[in-house]
Amino acid sequence: MIAVKNTSKGFTLMELLVVIAIIGILASVVLVSLNSARGRGKDSRVMSDLEQLRIQIESDYSGGNYNNSFVFTGSGGTSPSANVVGRLGGSNAAYNTILADLHNNVASSTASTTQTDGTQITAGTLPELIVVYPVGITVNGSGVINSGTPITAYALYGKMSTGNVYFCIDSSGKSLQADLTYSPVTITCTP
């Protein structure tokens, strides 16, 4: 009888395990890079949305103030108070489009925006958008701003994808990123 020699060549178990380990390491590196790129993409979108809001507010600038960009509701009085609630929006529907886009692209569990008139926002409850306007705005019972208290400045803070970091842009055109854990919310973007 003739003996048949096994001439088939194959991979050993050790070689297969090494290849699988290398593929696993490469896959984890790619996934980490993808998540980081996704976060940077969201951050870019937040910055773009805030710039669009700034452009919209500036286009509503009239008579030396930004009153046309803000809507006030409540029973009247002077901000800050529970009777005077101001929000960005004005009569232009473009605000709602930009705000909805900003809300859809921010990694935030907060479903609404906070708009304040210079009060300190506490860390841990930070929303996706903070709009700051001057204190002392007086409105009547219909929510109309009294002529003696115009809104002459504002700042917009948009939440970035990491921690309490916000992108800030203000009425002077200044912009920067700030960690609101350490920096207060102010009417101007200051480090």
Name the residue range of residue 63's domain.
44-179
The whole-number pLDDT of residue 18 equals: 95
Let me know if residue 27 belongs to a domain: no
The whole-number pLDDT of residue 109 equals: 39
The whole-number pLDDT of residue 122 equals: 44
Let me know if residue 186 belongs to a domain: no
Let me know if residue 56 belongs to a domain: yes
Let me know if residue 152 belongs to a domain: yes
Nearest to 102 by CA among 163, 51, 60, 55: 51
Let me know if residue 100 belongs to a domain: yes
Ordered DSSP codes for 130-146: EEE--S--EE-TTSPBP
Let me know if residue 22 belongs to a domain: no
* Pairing of β 85-88 and β 155-159: unpaired
Phi-psi region of 172 (alpha: psi -120 to 50; beta: other; left: phi over 0): alpha
Handedness of CA 151, 153, 158, 163 (dihedral sign): negative
The whole-number pLDDT of residue 20 equals: 96
Average pLDDT of 99-123? 52
Classified as helix, coil or strand, 46 is helix
The whole-number pLDDT of residue 71 equals: 75
Catalogue the E-assigned strands of 41-187. 70-73, 77-78, 85-88, 114-116, 129-132, 138-139, 155-159, 165-170, 175-179
Give per-residue pLDDT as tens, 3-47: 666 666 788 899 999 999 999 999 999 888 888 888 888 888 888
Let me know if residue 172 belongs to a domain: yes
Let me know if residue 4 belongs to a domain: no
Which pTM value belongs to this model?
0.71
Q: Which amino acid is at 92?
A: N
92: pLDDT strictly greater than 70: no
Q: Which amino acid is at 44?
A: S
Q: 109-129 burial string, b = 16+ CB within 10 Å, else e?
A: eeeebbbbbbeebeeeebbbb
Give per-residue pLDDT as tens, 130-175: 777 777 777 777 777 777 778 888 888 888 887 778 888 988 889 8
How many domains is the chain partitioned into structurally? 1
